[in-house]
Structure 1
Amino acid sequence: MSSLYTFSPDTKQKIRKFRLSGSRAKQISAEIYKIDPTSYELQYEDPDDIIDSLETLADELPDNSPRFVLMNYPYKSSDGRLVSPLVFLYYMPPTARQELKMLYAGCVEQMKDEVAPNEFIEVADEDDFDDLDDQIRSK
């Protein structure tokens, strides 16, 4: 089955490395990906700051454009074990243009297949980040 969206070998390698780094994660880490609207290629977006908290991640996301976010989210479980799920955030701000919403909606399943996350969560704005910790820990 062919797809409209493409992942360059570099992007696939970056995703694979990030997945593998999660088992050793001691703090939150995240990578942001965008879709080039002309080539339909998924691309890593270099952040301005190191993303090591939910606040930093929320600050890095654009106000008017969707993004895909991969996040290693280490925490201690209720029984004291250190767990670090790979979380796939589908960021879809309500102020995004309809064309962009459709572009990202068309790729979300392919991205899930490529990433194989432990958890998938949709977020729409910064307020959704307030409940994100509880959502991740409750799964």
Structure 2
Amino acid sequence: MSSALNICEIPEDVRKILKEFRFKQVESFEAVILKINATNHTIILDTRLEDSSIEELQEELPDQQPRFVLLSYKLTRPDGRVSYPLCLLFYSPTCKVELQMLYAGSRNYLVKEAGITKLAEVRELEDITQEFLDERCG
């Protein structure tokens, strides 16, 4: 039986945000951006994007610091079916090794605690496209 490594804690207020977001059906692109407070090793809310776009998400993400992005959007499939994928995007650009390890070590725990089944990882902002999200999250 495997368990997720718990390097960082998820405070109750963040757990509540994750739960609310998980059960929300969105009509547009929405995201919850989380970061790690390296001082006390907790996962905290960085920002929320509502009725947003991939371009706005790219603008919100820092160039040299990892982030966890819980995202959902309306996806209309070629056969007309509509779904609302929920996905955790692990954004891990080039940065200090210690910071990368802190995020990488907390990723699976966050996925487990948030009840997310789809995970995508990206290193470059330009790689976050609609096609990428549809392929990895849809």
TM-score tier by shorter-chain length is 0.7 to 0.9
Secondary structure of the residue that 2:45 maps to in structure 1? strand
Sequence identity of aligned pairs in percent? 30
| TM-score of the pair, normalised by structure 2 | 0.88
Q: What are structure 1's unaligned runs of at least 5 residues?
A: none
State the partner residue of 1:3.
Answer: 6
Task: Please tell me whether the aligned partners of residues 111 and 117 of structure 2 are also in contact (alpha carbons under 8 angstroms).
Answer: no
1:70–1:119: structure 2 CA closer, same or farther, 3 Å change rule? Answer: same
Alignment gaps of 5+ in structure 2? none
Conserved? CA contact 1:119–1:136, under 8 Å: no
8 Å CA contact 2:28–2:51 kept in 1: the answer is no
Query: Which residue number corresponds to residue 137 of structure 1?
Result: 134
CA distance in 1, matches of 2:67, 2:134: 22
* 1:46 to partner: Cα distance: 2.6
Distance change in 2, residues 1:114/1:92 (3 Å): same
In 2, Cα distance between equivalents of 1:55 and 1:20: 24
Kindly indicate whether the alpha-carbon contact (under 8 Å) linking 1:73 and 1:87 is maintained by their aligned counterparts in 2: no
Distance 2:133 2:78 in 1: 13
Q: Who is 2:110 aligned against?
A: 111
Q: TM-score, normalised by structure 1?
A: 0.87
Amino acid at match of 1:26: E
The DSSP-based 3-state class of the residue aligned with 1:63 is: coil
Instruction: Kindly provide the CA deviation profile for residues 81-120 of structure 1, in whole angstroms up to 9, marking residues without a partner as x.
Output: 11110011000012x1111101101101101101222421
Secondary structure of 1:42's aligned partner: strand
* Structure 2 match to 1:56: 56
Matched residues in 2 for 1:90 and 1:70: separation?
9
Structure 1 pair 135–129 and aligned structure 2 pair: CA distance change class (3 A): closer
Q: Using the TM superposition, give the Cα deviation of residue 135 of structure 1 relative to its aligned residue in structure 2, in angstroms.
A: 3.0
Q: Superposition RMSD on alpha carbons, in Å? A: 1.8
Q: Distance in 1 between matches of 2:100 and 2:7?
A: 15
Paired residues for 1:84-95 under 5 Å: 84-94=84-94
Q: In the alignment, what sits opposite 1:75?
A: 75
Measured after TM superposition, the shift of residue 4 of structure 1 is: 3.0
Counterpart residue identity of residue 12, structure 1: R
